[in-house]
Amino acid sequence: MKLRKLILSLVIISSFTAIAQPKIKDTLISYVEYVNPLVGSDSEFALSNGNTYPAIATPWGMNFWTPQTGKMGDGWGYTYDALKIRGFKQTHQPSPWINDYAAFSLFPETGDLKINEDDRASWYSHKAEISQPHYYRAYLADYDVTTEITPTTRGAQFRFTFPESERSHILVDGFFKGSMVKVIPSERKIIGYCRNNSGGVPDNFHNYFVIVFDKDFEEVITWEIEEGKDSSPRVSKEQKAEGYHVGAAITFKTKDGETLIAKVASSFISPEQAQINLDREIGQDSFDQTKAKAAAAWNKELGRMEVSGGTLEQYRTFYTALYRVLLFPRKFYEYNADKEIVHYSPYNGKVLPGYMFTDNGFWDTFRAVFPFFTIMYPDYLSNVMNGLVNAYNESGWLPEWASPGHRDCMIGSNSAINIADAYLRGIRGYDIETLYEAVVKNSRSKGPLSSVGRFGAEFYNELGYVPYDVGVNENAARTLEYAFADWSIAKLGEALKKPKKEIALFRERSLNYKNVFDPEIGFMRGRNKDGSWASSYTPDKWGDAFTEGAAWHWTWCVFHDPLGLAHEFGGEEKMRSRLDSVFTTPPTFNESYYGQQIHEITEMLVADMGQYAHGNQPIQHAIYLYNWLGQPWKTQKHVRNVMDKLYSSAPDGLCGDEDNGQTSAWYVFSAAGFYPVTPGTGQYAFGSPLFQNVKMHMRNGAIFEINAQENSEENIYIDAIQRNKKMYNKTYITYEDIMNGSKFDLIMKSEPNLKRGREESSKPYSLSKDNLNGK
């Protein structure tokens, strides 16, 4: 066994070396070896280092699988410091704050059967755990059983290795809030459904599952737990159970080292569709064949970003981050018996044709996740846009935070930003007229939840801001996000040749950010309906007029007009000075709005970066604003510092909530050397690339390349740039540069070039600059 482990270690080290040495030709690269799905799992309610779990899945899979250390229904389903595993569950959880839905689990045991999840939980160790995107393995010490999992899009295979035992069991737990199991011994099969959810589902919501085993059952029991009686399961010899919380257990006789396979799939449509998914995605494949297919799926996508000239840990961190970006929004559609794309609607409960996607919060993902898809996955993004059309047609509103249907979480109408960016970048194949209708409707009123449509729209549209004193919470933050969405709608309207008056209205509203900026103090702040400034204000007051942040973080949220914001400051020098102070001002805070020190505040404090709070989204782009302010070298310094200090591939390797891949997408872009500060412009602000070479393989066959051979831990500053061997003086690259397969050669130095990037012509897009040019 020790020799086998040594050989395996040498194989893994060899594969790492192959990627670390890009000059070695014809070397098979397995990118999944770099990825650590445990990243971010060393988290808890009080402090987030990601708030993630190991998602064993295929890219954007309808179902994920994960080991379960937490109690059923606990949003922290797997935490790295937990000592025991109590199940291996199918999960759809996008965030612990949103929680899970449609979860059920499998769990192997030996000896006396234990049903209660606390009683059955087994000791395990990370020393005997393997976690990769396409494969998970854990040893359950209490039962001497090894569990392995490998996924498909809508299913998985389990391989259990048992000791010699007269009573080896596999327990299927249907979870609470309504479940059913039925055992069919003649077919070695268990079918059932689970209905657990945390909101956002119609009344007829079910997740139907089917599990097929490769060995006859010696014994069958089912069990039921009544609500409020978790410790008192009622056991039966009946082959079917249905109720609040039910499950089944099947028993086998096993020899030492005997393996037992369970093939699993599920469907939100019907039991018959679950069987179709199982037959189509797994069929007669062995466990190892499914594992190879899942690895190939990941390697194909991860390999589209090819990096070299970094350290082993940098490769691990990069590909782990890229894995996280490729998980959400998940596919929520299936292929019926005629291979037609259909979906169960989480909005009206009907089975309808077409695409559907879910588990996405645009408040997070508009910033970098969707801009990444615009570049790297235009075909996938086209399908997502079709899903948005269907969601709007089925509910009357665009989903701003879906899991699986509308959820009352976060602020803004940020779907407009990514819809506009997709269309303006030439992505087609969906009904853009319906989506335009939807974003305009969003701008007029609140929807069925405060997170859908625009809460406070009547005030914003009349006064030009959401007032502080009219009962609409987080009003200044809403004003800022509505303004950027309005700019996006105006740009989309121009492309669609909408009436000039309508375009002008949204363009004018996009300047509403000025109405919540106080030039006397140089911060955004809440404003009362009568025009006076809110009196209960300090720049470090979290919440209140803002969302999960303070004025220190939200003042920079003028994505579409940084130069206009500089004008409001009284000039670029004053704005630079305030931005500089973000990193030097002590991290004081006022938590009175929340009544406690929320975890986002704690994450700012422990980072030791002043008022900069990278663990939450509002300020993540601010580092890049120096490209607009004539000092791009400060962007380069801060970007590298954040990448080096706040990211790793370890279980505590993130610095706040991951939030559907956004925090990882920031790293993927930044490590490549650029960032989409303003989705919709097709421009990406330069930072400081982490690697000596980055190649991005486009869907159109082009290869975009950033080459920085002198790049190192010391050489973090861009001294000069060539684009296709011609000098290039701008502080940004364009979508066309990327799609056309341009090559950028960067000369990196240890000292900043204080002259480069100061000219007005070097700066990225800004609405005020656009207006001055008569556009």
- Taking only the tens place, the pLDDT of each residue in 626-647 is 999 999 999 999 999 999 999 9
The answer to the question of residue 505 being in a domain is: no
Q: Which of 256, 251, 253, 276 is nearest to 265 (CA)?
A: 276
Which pLDDT belongs to residue 773? 56
Say what percent of the chain tops pLDDT 70: 96
What is the average pLDDT across 380-389? 98
> Does residue 416 have a pLDDT over 90?
yes
pLDDT of residue 682: 98
The structure's pTM equals 0.95
pLDDT at 231: 75
Q: Which residue is listed with tokens 């400051």?
A: 569
Q: What is the mean pLDDT of residues 368-393?
A: 98
Distance CA(717)–CA(419), nearest Å, equals 34
Predicted local confidence at residue 7, as pLDDT: 38
- Predicted pLDDT of residue 487: 98
Domain extent for 292: 42-299
As a whole number of angstroms, the distance between CA 200 and CA 220 comes to 35
Rounded average pLDDT over 474-491: 98
- State mean pLDDT over 273-283: 98
Q: Which residues fall within 8 angstroms of residue 470, CB to CB, at 6 or more apart?
A: 456, 459, 529
pLDDT band at 9 (very low <50, low <70, confident <90, very high): very low
Over the stretch 114-170, which tens digit does the pLDDT of each residue have?
Answer: 999 999 999 999 999 999 999 999 999 999 999 999 999 999 999 999 999 999 999
Q: Is residue 56 part of a domain?
A: yes
Are 555 and 613 within 8 A, CB to CB? no
Mean pLDDT of 440-462: 97
d(C-alpha 463, C-alpha 444), whole Å: 13
Q: pLDDT tens, 663-685? A: 999 999 999 999 999 999 999 99
Count the helix, strand and coil residues of the chain and give each as a percent rounded to the nearest 5. Answer: 30, 25, 45
What does the pLDDT read at residue 770? Answer: 73
Q: How many angstroms separate the Cα of 434 from the Cα of each of 113, 224, 333, 399, 422?
A: 55, 47, 20, 14, 14
Reading the block at residue 704, the tokens are 């975009």
The per-residue pLDDT for 639 is 98
Q: What is the mean pLDDT of the chain?
A: 95
Of 251, 226, 246, which Cα lies nearest the Cα of 236?
Answer: 246
In terms of pLDDT, which residue wins out, 15 or 741?
A: 741
Confidence of residue 536 (pLDDT cuts 50, 70, 90): confident
Number of domains present in the structure of the chain? 1
Please say whether the beta carbons of 137 and 130 come within 8 A. yes
> Given its phi and psi angles, is residue 116 left (phi above 0), alpha (psi -120 to 50 degrees) or beta?
beta
Task: Give residue-wise pLDDT tens across range 111-126.
Answer: 999 999 999 999 999 9
**φ and ψ at 10, to 5 degrees?**
-65, -35
Q: Closest by alpha carbon to 416, among 452, 469, 448, 390?
A: 452
Mean pLDDT along residues 378-405: 98
DSSP state of 527: B
The rounded Cα 104 to chain-centroid distance in angstroms is 22
DSSP code, position 592: T
pLDDT at 619 over 80: yes
Residue 624 DSSP label: G
The stretch 272-288 carries a mean pLDDT of 98
The answer to whether residue 176 sits within a structural domain is yes
252 inside domain: yes
pLDDT at 28: 52
Q: Which tens digits make up the pLDDT trace of 552-590?
A: 999 999 999 999 999 999 999 999 999 999 999 999 999
Residue 548 in any domain: the answer is: no
pLDDT at residue 3 tops 60:
no
Residue 228 confidence (pLDDT) above 60: yes
Output the domain CATH number for residue 76.
2.70.98.10
